[in-house]
Amino acid sequence: MSAVVVTDMTYFAVSDQNGNFVMEQLPAGQYRAEIWHEKLGAKTIGVAVTPIGSLLWDFVYTLKGTVN
- List the domain range (segments joined by +) for residue 32: 1-68
pLDDT at residue 68 greater than cutoff 60: no
Stated pTM of the model? 0.59
* pLDDT of the residue at 59: 76
Buried b (16+ CB within 10 A) or exposed e, 15-33: eeeeeeeeeeeeeeeebeb
Cβ neighbours of residue 24 closer than 8 Å, sequence gap 6 or more: none
Q: What is the DSSP letter of 34?
A: E
> Into how many domains does the chain fold?
1
Residue 8 CA to residue 64 CA, distance in Å, equals: 32
Q: What are 5-26's pLDDT values in tens digits?
A: 666 777 888 888 887 888 888 8
Write down how long the chain is: 68
CA distance 19 to 2: 13
